[in-house]
């Protein structure tokens, strides 16, 4: 699988951008702040339908505009499919497939698959549980697009159940009607939660070995990496040689909701479900969060992303189904030996998107299409393709000089 063309309209720093891409390595080189990460983010958006940097779509739309467009031409073997997302902050996003009528964005799940590693991914190890939940859910939805519906159903029922619990907190406000409605929401929540948890546990079981192996390769195998699932539902917690089926998990969630009845009424919030679960990452005998060094944390986060790429490859044995692999500014953090190892580990990707501030950060083992990214009059633009590394270095010295220090507003996340 690869992307042959990316088109952006009013997306972050781009008023309009047209970018041709090829199979193999595509290396975007430019000074900090010119918009390389915006391109990488947009490519990943075509797969997961959200940004890796912000929690909502508002910062994705260029200032002064109400809508952004992200279009891609996707190739899978001999098949070519066009997808065009309308990004409408505060409203429902839509997608047009093969220039058809716009429809709900969820209809495009699974058409394009991508795995992206970015500097922000260090938060996978050191950040809050919601970051790891998103990591798990993005993976399971790419593996099984129908789980996107389960995630959406769960979120909808959770909001309605919480609203019910809050409405009954005042003395005397809880009625028999509240009780009956809560029972209905318990059943709906349990079914959606069971599907989500089951999907996560299957994905984590598949991730375990490639994560451990990849981390060992990146870190010389000093400490073994692992993880377990921490859940508000005891049946789901731990490491599972056999994953509980959805029927078992449904009953387990329902039982926990009934046990938490009094506490939830008192607090007016749902205390049981996948929205409160976590993936606990370990390094040796200790949890990585709070104990791992910066270098170990970086290697762990990278190992998780590369392992998720391997899981997606193994999940669909069609050689034309390999996800696009995106490495945003990763080589600058690695020494020469690790750069070479990473290049070797990613050489089988059908398409590799790499961003770097300088060409010198790219290991010699990676040769491919080099794309200079510049900023002219405050608008980012990809330049012409260059395959000669020596020529690229001249471009850096001459054409990128005016881009030094050009930063988009940090509060919008438009920086490189």
**Sign of the Cα pseudo-torsion (69, 111, 118, 322, in order):** negative
Q: Which two tokens stand for residue 304?
A: 């998780």
Under a CB-based contact definition with an 8 Å cutoff, are residues 44 and 52 in contact?
yes
Q: Which two tokens stand for residue 312?
A: 């997606």
DSSP β-bridge partners for residue 16: 9
Is 35 assigned to a binding site? yes
Is 30 assigned to a binding site? yes
Residue appearing with tokens 């990460």 = 37
Distance from C-alpha of 40 to C-alpha of 54, rounded to nearest angstrom = 14
If residue 231 lies in a helix (H) or strand (E), which one and from where to where? Answer: none
Strands 369-376 and 24-29: parallel
Long-range CB contact pairs, 313-316, < 8 A, 24+: 314/206, 315/143, 315/206
Distance from C-alpha of 372 to C-alpha of 144, rounded to nearest angstrom = 36
Is 31 assigned to a binding site? yes
Under a CB-based contact definition with an 8 Å cutoff, are residues 205 and 221 in contact?
no
**Of the candidates 118, 102, 101, 7, the residue with the CA atom closest to the CA atom of residue 52:** 118
Is 272 assigned to a binding site? no
Is 100 assigned to a binding site? no
Is 34 assigned to a binding site? yes
Is 32 assigned to a binding site? yes
Is 36 assigned to a binding site? yes
Numbered residues of the known binding site = 30-37
Numbered residues of the known binding site for ATP = 30-37
């Amino acid at each position: 699988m690869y992307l042959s063309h990316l088109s952006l309209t009013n997306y972050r720093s781009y008023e309009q951008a047209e970018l041709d891409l090829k199979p193999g390595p595509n290396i975007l080189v430019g000074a900090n702040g010119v918009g390389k990460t915006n391109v990488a983010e947009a490519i990943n958006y075509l797969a997961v339908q959200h940004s890796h940097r912000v929690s909502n779509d508002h910062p994705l739309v260029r200032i002064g505009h109400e809508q952004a467009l992200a279009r891609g031409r996707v190739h899978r073997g001999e098949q070519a499919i066009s997808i065009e997302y309308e990004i409408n902050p505060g409203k429902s996003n839509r997608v047009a497939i093969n220039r058809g009528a716009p429809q709900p964005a969820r209809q495009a799940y699974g058409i394009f698959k991508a795995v992206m590693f970015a500097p922000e991914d260090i938060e996978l190890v050191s950040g809050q549980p919601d970051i790891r939940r998103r990591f798990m859910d993005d993976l399971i939805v790419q593996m099984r697009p129908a789980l996107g519906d389960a995630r959406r159903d769960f979120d909808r029922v959770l909001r309605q159940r919480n609203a019910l619990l809050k409405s009954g907190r005042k003395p005397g406000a809880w009625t028999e009607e509240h009780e009956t409605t809560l029972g209905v929401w318990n059943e709906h929540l349990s079914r959606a939660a069971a599907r989500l948890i089951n999907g996560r546990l299957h994905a984590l079981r598949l991730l375990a070995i490639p994560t451990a192996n990849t981390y060992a390769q990146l870190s010389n195998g000093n400490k073994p990496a692992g993880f377990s699932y921490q859940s508000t539902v005891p049946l789901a917690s731990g490491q599972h040689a056999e994953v509980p089926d959805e029927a078992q998990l449904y009953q387990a969630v329902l039982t926990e909701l009934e046990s938490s009845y009094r506490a939830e009424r008192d607090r007016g919030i749902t205390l049981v479900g996948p929205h409160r679960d976590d993936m606990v990452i370990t390094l040796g005998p200790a949890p990585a969060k709070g104990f791992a060094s910066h270098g170990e944390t970086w290697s762990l986060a990278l190992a998780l992303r590369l392992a998720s790429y391997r899981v997606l490859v193994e999940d669909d044995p069609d050689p034309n189904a390999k996800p696009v692999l995106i490495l945003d500014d990763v080589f600058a953090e690695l020494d020469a030996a690790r750069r070479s190892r990473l290049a070797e580990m990613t050489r089988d990707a059908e398409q590799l998107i790499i961003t770097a501030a300088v060409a010198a950060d790219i290991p010699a083992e990676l040769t491919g299409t080099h794309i200079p990214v510049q900023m002219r009059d405050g608008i980012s633009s990809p330049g012409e393709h260059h395959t000669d590394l020596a020529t690229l270095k001249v471009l850096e010295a001459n054409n990128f000089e005016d881009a030094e220090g050009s930063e988009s507003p940090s509060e919008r996340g438009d920086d490189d």
